[in-house]
């Protein structure tokens, strides 16, 4: 069995020497990716393609090979083909009918059932010298197939099914299926970069795009909300590394940022919090880049998508770093980004992950000046950033096992507080003032989420506590974190339309 691989088209315009080196490295990458399969596999390099030959007729084996090739991102497309040798006597005959009959029979065996009730066309590509033309062979095959199904129509433009056949020398290649895939460079052409990752769609796509350009990616994660937050991001990081990037020993770097969040929420004007947070991300990334020889910092910003991603705000944010900042998504809209997550299979992860812009900032500034931001930064002692770096954690993704990334705890959701249950409103003070909650016959405590982990143990542990916030995911994350620490008396509180209601403050 045979699969023909077309490499990234940008490779094919390189010089002869460079192209040869690229294709050899792609050959090594494919073999490395397929080595887990217990099959005898050969990858042959040609001038403009690669062929994967394997010794199995088993459909499951073919599916596994195709799956592995789909995770090899330096392939532009590949085709599943079946090849047949044309007998010399057929080729020597002045009348090409015997060759036509031979090719037609092979095409009929595979395609006859597929063209029923469909429009189709036949495309033949030839190389070498034959006593017939490609068009003659195309006509012979589609006339023959049409005789079997009267309701199958030949349509040369936009048919339902395109039958592709290649005739090369004395061989016929019947194209069973073509797989269009994600292209990129197959060699170590670039150096180390540090990719800032978070929950959501964007950072995974920006990371993947840098992988396509063959940068050596390490993951930098700022932990804002505890163990559950870190666990989810680490899970997706390992997924991307395992499927696309196992050839580089990627590191996962965690920076604890809960105390920085607390400082921002207590001391900084809410309009500027998100911009300051992004500057602090860059300041720490810049320090790591200088110390560990990263040549660039990668961010998932898309121009104008959120308040911090206006040109003026990005300009202010970037002044926090001397290291080059790369934004692979800068011109992409959200739908384009989401479509890529579906191709790289991170879409379902991202759909269940929260965005934190609304939690950090209320009515964030879209046109902040550097003077305004520096004035706000003076309110915070930046020694807190040094403390965060001192408490960093670095892990190699290859040493993180999938079973360690499963969250073992569950947390109950309550829609109506019962006797001996206390609601804890974990929103920040501004949001509580703007929209306080009132519940009859229920005690309500106000402990901001950035203090809940430190304050909870001081409460009466004979009672059950229901965490509440507008973005209920924060209640879940902090609840799961405390349950991991051994507290069993925690639930999440959410409102229903019936039973109780939120009364807005004046």
Active-site residues, by number, are 469
Tokens of 291: 């110390």
Which string of DSSP letters, residue by residue, matches 165-203? EEEETTEEEEEEEEEE------S--S-EEEEEE-SSSHH
From the list 356, 309, 353, 352, the residue with the least C-alpha distance to 330 is 309
Question: What values do phi and psi take at 34, rounded to 5?
Answer: -95, -5
For 87-108, b where at least 16 C-beta lie within 10 A, e where not — what string? eeebbeeeebeebbebbbebbe
Give the whole-angstrom CA distance, residue 397 versus residue 253.
Answer: 10
Give the whole-angstrom CA distance, residue 225 versus residue 359.
Answer: 11
The residues, any chain, with a CB within 8 Å of residue 409's CB and separated by 6 or more, are 480, 483, 484
Other beta carbons within 10 angstroms of residue 217's beta carbon come to 24
Which string of DSSP letters, residue by residue, matches 295-344? -EEE----TTSSGGGSHHHHHHHHTT-SSEEE-TTTT--HHHHHHHHHHT
Question: What values do phi and psi take at 313, rounded to 5?
Answer: -70, -40
From the list 161, 164, 190, 158, the residue with the least C-alpha distance to 176 is 164
Give the whole-angstrom CA distance, residue 301 versus residue 172.
Answer: 49
Which string of DSSP letters, residue by residue, matches 226-280? -HHHHHHHHHHHHHHHHHH-TTS--EEEEEE-HHHHHHHHHHS-GGGHHHHHHHH
Give the whole-angstrom CA distance, residue 56 versus residue 420.
Answer: 66
Question: What values do phi and psi take at 5, rounded to 5?
Answer: -110, 130
Which string of DSSP letters, residue by residue, matches 412-481? -EESS--TTEEEEE-S-HHHHHHS----TT--EEE--HHHHHHHGGGS-TTSEEEEE-SSHHHHHHHHHH
- Contact by Cβ (8 Å): 9, 54: no
- Contact by Cβ (8 Å): 365, 271: yes
The residues, any chain, with a CB within 8 Å of residue 257's CB and separated by 6 or more, are 222, 223, 224, 280, 388
């Amino acid at each position: 069995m045979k699969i023909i691989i077309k490499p990234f088209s940008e490779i094919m315009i390189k010089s002869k020497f460079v192209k040869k080196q690229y294709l050899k490295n792609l050959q090594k990458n494919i073999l490395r990716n397929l080595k887990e399969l217990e099959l005898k596999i050969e990858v042959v390099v040609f001038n403009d393609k690669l062929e994967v030959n394997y010794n199995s007729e088993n459909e499951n084996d073919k599916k596994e090979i195709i799956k592995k090739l789909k995770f090899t991102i330096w392939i532009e497309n590949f085709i599943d083909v079946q090849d047949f040798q044309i007998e010399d006597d057929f080729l020597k005959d002045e009348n090409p009918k015997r060759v036509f009959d031979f090719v037609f029979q092979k095409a009929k065996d595979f395609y006859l059932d597929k063209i029923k009730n469909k429009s189709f066309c036949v495309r033949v590509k030839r190389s070498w010298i034959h006593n017939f033309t490609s068009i003659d062979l195309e006509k012979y095959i589609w006339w023959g197939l049409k005789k079997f199904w009267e309701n199958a129509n030949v349509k040369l433009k936009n048919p339902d099914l395109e039958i592709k056949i290649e005739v090369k020398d004395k061989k016929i290649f019947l194209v069973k299926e073509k797989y269009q895939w994600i292209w990129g460079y197959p060699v170590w052409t670039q150096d180390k970069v540090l990719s800032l990752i978070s929950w959501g769609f964007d950072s995974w796509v920006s990371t993947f795009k840098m992988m396509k350009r063959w940068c050596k990616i390490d993951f930098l994660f700022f932990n804002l909300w505890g163990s559950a937050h870190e666990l989810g991001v680490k899970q997706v990081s390992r997924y991307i590394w395992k499927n696309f990037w196992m050839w580089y020993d990627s590191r996962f770097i965690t920076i604890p940022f809960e105390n920085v969040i607390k400082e921002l929420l207590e001391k900084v004007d809410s309009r500027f919090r998100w911009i300051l947070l992004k500057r602090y991300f860059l300041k720490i990334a810049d320090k790591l880049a200088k110390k560990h020889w990263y040549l660039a910092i990668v961010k998932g910003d898309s121009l104008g998508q959120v308040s911090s991603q206006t040109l003026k705000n990005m300009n202010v944010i970037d002044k926090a770093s001397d290291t080059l900042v790369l934004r692979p998504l800068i011109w992409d809209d959200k739908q384009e980004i989401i479509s890529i997550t579906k191709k790289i299979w991170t879409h379902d992860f991202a759909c269940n992950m929260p965005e934190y812009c609304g939690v950090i900032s209320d009515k964030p500034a879209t046109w902040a000046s550097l003077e305004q931001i520096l004035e706000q930064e003076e309110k915070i002692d930046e020694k807190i950033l040094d403390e965060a770096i001192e408490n960093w954690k670095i892990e190699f993704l290859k040493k993180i096992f999938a079973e360690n990334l499963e969250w073992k705890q569950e947390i109950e959701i309550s829609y109506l507080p019962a006797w001996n249950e206390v609601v804890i409103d974990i929103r920040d003070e501004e949001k509580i003032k703007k929209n306080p909650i009132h519940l009859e016959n229920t005690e309500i405590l106000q402990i901001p989420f950035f203090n809940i982990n430190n304050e909870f143990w001081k409460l009466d542990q004979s009672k059950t506590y229901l965490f509440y916030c507008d973005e209920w995911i924060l209640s879940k994350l902090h609840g799961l974190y405390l349950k991991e620490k051994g507290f069993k008396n925690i639930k999440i509180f959410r409102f229903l339309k019936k039973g109780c209601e939120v009364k807005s403050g004046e």
